[in-house]
Chain A
Amino acid sequence: MVKKVSLSLPDRLFEELDGLAKESSRTRSSIVVEALKAYLSEPDIRREAKTYPTALQKLREQIVIKLRSPRLAKARIESDWIVKSEV
């Protein structure tokens, strides 16, 4: 099932879309659909910081670090820092 929508695009963006469509022999619709799918498949990147610390969220989005869970008792993390449960 396909729904039709009308879009308002700035002139320059429309020209780019049109140029790309001609260049790649595709329809403008198919390019917009592909771009929208790519955008929606990466929710973490478009989301603003809603969980804290923001730096931790940014690092996760960049897949730079993998930290061990501080919930694990006696789990050694880094730099000689240890996290332990308190009973």
Chain B
Amino acid sequence: MVSHTVELRFQTYPSYLVLRRRDKRVKAFGTAVIDTGFDGGIYLNIALLKFFEDLNPIRMEKLVSSFGEKVDCEVYEIEASLVSEKDGLEVDLKKVNVYIPVDPAYIEGEVLVGREILNRLKVVLNDVYSELSST
């Protein structure tokens, strides 16, 4: 049931996220912000756009921004995992949906991890660390 247990500084610090492209044998890793208000899986920042170059989106979807605007997004599927900052343990998220707005004006500076992913995890919050495990 639970394959890995990792501790992430969940509330006050961003988490380490790894994205993998098997076709090009490359991975991207960096910090992402856990966003419980985001419906999707991963919301991309501008720095990672090129990582998705030449991939075809699996579908189009409309997200609603915090200002109530409908934002057209291309949805890409990619393998991802969350990594413990403390000991490097990795929670394999397998395939996740990545949302990239068609209009660059809606791209933000941070990578967001939303509920599509968080709902797959068992999350235990405490004062300093949060415990995440795959279910």
Residues of A within 8 A of B (CB): 49, 51-56, 58-59, 64-65, 67-71, 77-87
- Separation of A87 and B20 alpha carbons in the complex (Å): 12
Contacts of B127 in A (CB 8 A): none
A70-B28, A84-B26, A87-B25 in contact; A55/B107 too (CB < 8 A)? yes
Q: Is the CB of A86 within 8 A of B100?
A: no
A71-B26, A79-B30, A84-B29 in contact; A58/B49 too (CB < 8 A)? no
Instruction: Identify whether the interface residues of B are mostly helix, strand, loop, or mixed.
Output: mixed
Instruction: Identify whether the interface residues of A are mostly helix, strand, loop, or mixed.
Output: loop
A52-B55, A52-B56, A55-B104 in contact; A70/B50 too (CB < 8 A)? yes
Q: Is the CB of B25 within 8 A of A56?
A: no
Contacts of B27 in A (CB 8 A): 83-84, 86
Contacts of B53 in A (CB 8 A): 51-53, 56, 70
